[in-house]
Structure 1
Amino acid sequence: MLDGHGVLGYLWASAAENAASFEPKDVGDDETYHAGLHWLDLLHTAHEQGLAPSEALQQLTDGDHAPGRMRLGALRELAADL
């Protein structure tokens, strides 16, 4: 998730674990902390509505991102470029 200052954190989902969450890049400031709480609340609401983790992410993002797999190393490289 991006804001005017850069990357705040990452939304992720796992179908195998039936889980989704927001992982902050750095919780050293109030803005990132509150952004994390906001995204966790949205994910919790989606779960209560019966959405699968990937469906929740699809609903909460702009919808242009197709669910898929990404190796952790590739994700780290992508994050380093931001």
Structure 2
Amino acid sequence: MAHERGYHIVYREHEINHCPGCGHTHWYIGRIMAECAFCQTALPLVSSSMVAGGQTIRTVNRRPVFDRAEHAFAA
């Protein structure tokens, strides 16, 4: 529930949005995130929950997993 998660900063279209990191108001707008043009602070769009069924954050570990120490070194 929204009241349980606390204060949640989001980028709102058609409003002046001040960056919480630097205070500027210039943004690069994507499909689900807005990024400050000055300090690169990223905020989710308030409308991103309506894009493609909601906002999904996925973490992928791209590092190879080695069983033995000798496989970790290049030949």
Please give the range of the TM-score, normalised by the shorter of the 2 chains: under 0.3
TM, length-normalised to structure 1: 0.26
Query: Of the two, which has the highest radius of gyration?
Result: 2
Give the TM-score normalised by the residue count of structure 2: 0.28
Considering fraction of residues, name the structure with more strand.
1
Q: Going by fraction, where is helix more abundant, 1 or 2?
A: 1
